[in-house]
Structure 1
Amino acid sequence: MLQSIFSLFRKRPPRRTDGKLGVLIELASFDKGGLEKVVLDSAIALDRQRFDVTIVTPGKVGHLGEVARDAGLRVIGLPANGQQAAYDRLLQELQIDVAMSHFSNAGYRLFDRYKIPNITFIHNVYAFFSSEQAEAFARDDRYVDCYVSVSQNATRFAVRNLGVDAKKIITVPNGLIISEHEAREKKPIKLTRAELGLADSDYVFANIASYNLHKGHYVMADAMRHLLQRRRDVKILCVGNVVYPPHVEALRAYLREHGLDQHILMPGYFPDVEDVHRVSDGFLLPSFIEGWSIAMNEAMFYRKPMILTDTGASAEVIEDNDIGILVPNEYGDTSDLNSKLLDELAYAPRNYAIAPVLANAMDEMASHREAWRVKAEAGRRKIYERFDFSNIVQRYEEIIENVVRQNGR
């Protein structure tokens, strides 16, 4: 009873007087992950003359959180105990006009209580959700005013499988910070083919992705078995960090057992993506699931022809085989994928229906390397014309202002 009485006199969040919009960005943790880096880049790029940004996380504040603070952003880690009460006090003290959430819902009910509109990002095709996660996502829909989805496939999945009204979703692609990669491109070369055991005559596909088997590592292995019946000069350079060691150890053992470890190389993680592209001829990403791959954008910037499975945004960037080859997915339509099928396809070796198709695509690209090198020039032009991160952030800013206006704040 006392709790309900006191809530009647709850302090109202103050109104801003500086003409800016108070933006609260929530994410599950703020340390070193790829999603966290996307959030960091977006937050730093928002116009400081128009937006006052606060980043809140119920999880760990680590490296990227400190980078954000150094850039002048307000970063707040909620305490492990009494998080909701601490979040409540925070919203009473801050001048927040809109919330933006990234795969985190800690503040949803508080946003609703204080009438703070909530923009939620859909970063992936959420087929990896369990049934409980999918149900929770659908329940939380009432707390979301607008969704920003990274690709048409991610949008379609959310509408068909998670009960989201298509009218609530705006699809905005991920962009690339072009100036960052222009600077990277000028750095001295630090990696050579010889260091990796690659010959100058090899046709090398870079696979830049975490060693997360949802990226299709066993598909690549099956395709290579087909390809080795025709030629032995094609190599796949898999560069990434380990997600779950037992899966990676089993994959390495499988490659050794089948004589594939000299053709599918797994040297680990390299921080300098430009060096990986310098030693490569093409880019290969036969994932079962994606949202919008930043690695795909990077390959386009570095003028690499691409072979991608039809998931995430691949069909939005490869158009009529202009800058690469689009391979059908093992399971068909994205909306037909679910967590059980995803894990069955990804975590254990098998014969894949798309493996011969993927092998043919790799053979085609290696056999006509000069023609594909020339075609890949258009990938870089697309980055400059359509996927410049600064232009993407401008779209975010427009969405923020429209949602605030529509909610009368």
Structure 2
Amino acid sequence: MIRILYIVRNLEPGGAETFLLSMLQQLDKRRFTADVACLYGSGQLEAEFARAGVRIHMMGFNALYDLRAYLRLARLVRKNRYDIIHTKLFHADLVGRLIALGVGLRPVYSTVESVHEWVGPQRLRGRFKHIVARCSSRINERVIAVSEDIRKALISNVRLPSELVEVIPNGVDTRHFDPSVHGHGSLKAELGLPPRALLIGAVGTLSPVKNHRLLIEAAPEVIKHHPHAYFVVVGRGDQTALRDLARSYGVEQRFFFTGARRDVANVLASLDAYVMTSLSEGVSLSLLEAMAMARPVIATGVGGNVEIVNSRDLGILYPPNDHNALAHAIDEVLTNRPYRELICRNARRRVCNAYSLGVAVDRYQALYEARK
């Protein structure tokens, strides 16, 4: 039995945490046991981790330099005699590597989901993260990049050795995200939309890198060609700026901001088009989920999006920050029914073949069992 400790910042429903939950639900419990250490507190996903049989340990970090919290974590690692530490995101990477060094534990694995915060060496914060990542990663058995784009950035920008970095894309549960299970969804009725309404949606945290404002900027042109178009944005975060922007564009009556929701499959089933406006992406779970649900996808041509939607027969990629291109792509998907049906069929097939949760879990399990 291989004992694994996963270290994360918290259990809020971000992409890294959501994928970890899905992976641990599928992990072979005859071969592996899994605990999770949260550096900075709990989150909305705690109950779901507990239902999956995962032991959760709160480390009570007040800051990255909290010595007492480091000692608590070191005692936990020694007491439970873990075979592997697997870290998620920068703070957890650094803490996990220092703890492993202190207690003499190897191997350590770190998964890099995105590099948008620290690939820019011109910024002081970026330079600091480069140095820390480059020096501390020497402790790692492997650094896992979720996309080829991230692997290249880690090697060229952060200057990690190429043999240290391995690509394992995230995956989604295609049995849950299955259009035959969820039908047409119930979100339109919940929002009180008219029968002829077309619903265009985006799913993702309301953070600047997700760039949801672009959908608002594209909305007037879309509505001009599709008078029954409405828009929904699903994700946690402050809605104030986006609501104000929608009001300034005169489209506030066409936009719905729902906050975070756990019925994402139902949301996606309700959409006539799925839109991604991100300035940077690793391997987006929400994009994969939309494709698994056979929704027509329109995404920025950045990062892992280019690897996932690698053909126009799978969806439409457009230049980031180009609201005219986004409006044109939405119009094409809503107008051209044969093309829409083609990309929906192909998108689900693509995810089932290359980005299913089962494929990702199998690769991680093989990685753990091949440890030195």
TM-score range (shorter-chain normalised) is 0.7 to 0.9
Contact map agreement 2:6 2:87 (CA 8 A) in 1: yes
Q: Which residue of 2 aligns with 1:384?
A: 352
User: Which of 135, 158, 161 is the equivalent residue of 1:162?
Assistant: 158
- Higher CA-based Rg: 1
User: Which of 36, 40, 43 is the equivalent residue of 1:59?
Assistant: 40
User: Which of 139, 148, 153 is the equivalent residue of 2:149?
Assistant: 153
Question: In structure 2, how many angstroms separate the alpha carbons of the residues matched to 1:362 and 1:68?
Answer: 37
Question: In structure 2, how many angstroms separate the alpha carbons of the residues matched to 1:66 and 1:272?
Answer: 16
1:372 equivalenced with 2:363 (yes/no): no
Q: Which residue of 1 aligns with 2:69?
A: 83
Give, as a single letter, the amino acid of the residue that structure 1 aligns with 2:366. E
Q: Which residue of 1 aligns with 2:88?
A: 102
Q: TM-score, normalised by structure 1?
A: 0.78
Q: Which residue of 2 aligns with 1:307?
A: 298
Give, as a single letter, the amino acid of the residue that structure 1 aligns with 2:286. A
Deviations, residues 63-100 of structure 1 (Å, cap 9, x unaligned): 53444344333332225572222222223322222211
Unaligned runs of 5+ in 1: 1-19, 331-353
Q: CA deviation at 1:282?
A: 1.3
When residues 370 and 262 of structure 1 are mapped into structure 2, their CA distance, relative to the original with a 3 A threshold, is farther
Q: How does 1:70-219 map to 2 (within 5 A)?
A: 70-80=51-61, 82-103=68-89, 104=92, 105-113=94-102, 114-127=104-117, 130-131=125-126, 132-182=128-178, 186=181, 191-219=186-214
User: Which of 23, 28, 53 is the equivalent residue of 1:42?
Assistant: 23
Structure 1, 166-175 or 232-241: larger mean CA deviation: 232-241
Q: Which residue of 2 aligns with 1:21?
A: 2
Question: In structure 1, how many angstroms separate the alpha carbons of the residues matched to 2:326 and 2:44?
Answer: 38
Q: CA deviation at 1:273?
A: 2.0
When residues 323 and 107 of structure 1 are mapped into structure 2, their CA distance, relative to the original with a 3 A threshold, is closer
Q: CA deviation at 1:57?
A: 2.5
Q: Which residue of 1 aligns with 2:227?
A: 232
What is the Cα-based RMSD across aligned positions, in Å? 2.6
Partner secondary structure for residue 311 of structure 2:
coil
Q: CA deviation at 1:207?
A: 1.0
Q: Which residue of 2 aligns with 1:357?
A: 325
When residues 152 and 228 of structure 1 are mapped into structure 2, their CA distance, relative to the original with a 3 A threshold, is same
Deviations, residues 259-278 of structure 1 (Å, cap 9, x unaligned): 12234433444432233223
Contact map agreement 2:19 2:171 (CA 8 A) in 1: no
Q: TM-score, normalised by structure 2?
A: 0.86
When residues 192 and 224 of structure 1 are mapped into structure 2, their CA distance, relative to the original with a 3 A threshold, is closer
Q: CA deviation at 1:187?
A: 5.8
User: Which of 366, 369, 372 is the equivalent residue of 1:398?
Assistant: 366
When residues 358 and 136 of structure 1 are mapped into structure 2, their CA distance, relative to the original with a 3 A threshold, is same
Partner secondary structure for residue 385 of structure 1:
helix
Deviations, residues 220-243 of structure 1 (Å, cap 9, x unaligned): 2222344455553433322222x2
Contact map agreement 1:21 1:52 (CA 8 A) in 2: yes
Question: In structure 2, how many angstroms separate the alpha carbons of the residues matched to 1:51 and 1:61?
Answer: 23
Contact map agreement 2:137 2:143 (CA 8 A) in 1: no
Q: CA deviation at 1:62?
A: 4.9
Question: In structure 1, how many angstroms separate the alpha carbons of the residues matched to 2:288 and 2:68?
Answer: 41
Give, as a single letter, the amino acid of the residue that structure 1 aligns with 2:87. S
When residues 178 and 190 of structure 1 are mapped into structure 2, their CA distance, relative to the original with a 3 A threshold, is closer
Q: CA deviation at 1:299?
A: 0.8
Q: How does 1:283-298 map to 2 (within 5 A)?
A: 283-298=274-289
When residues 71 and 201 of structure 1 are mapped into structure 2, their CA distance, relative to the original with a 3 A threshold, is closer
Question: In structure 1, how many angstroms separate the alpha carbons of the residues matched to 2:50 and 2:224?
Answer: 54
Aligned length: 357
Q: How high is the sequence identity, in percent, across the aligned residues?
A: 22
Contact map agreement 2:118 2:130 (CA 8 A) in 1: no
Unaligned runs of 5+ in 2: 62-66, 120-124
Structure 1, 85-94 or 356-365: larger mean CA deviation: 85-94
Structure 1, 61-70 or 253-262: larger mean CA deviation: 61-70
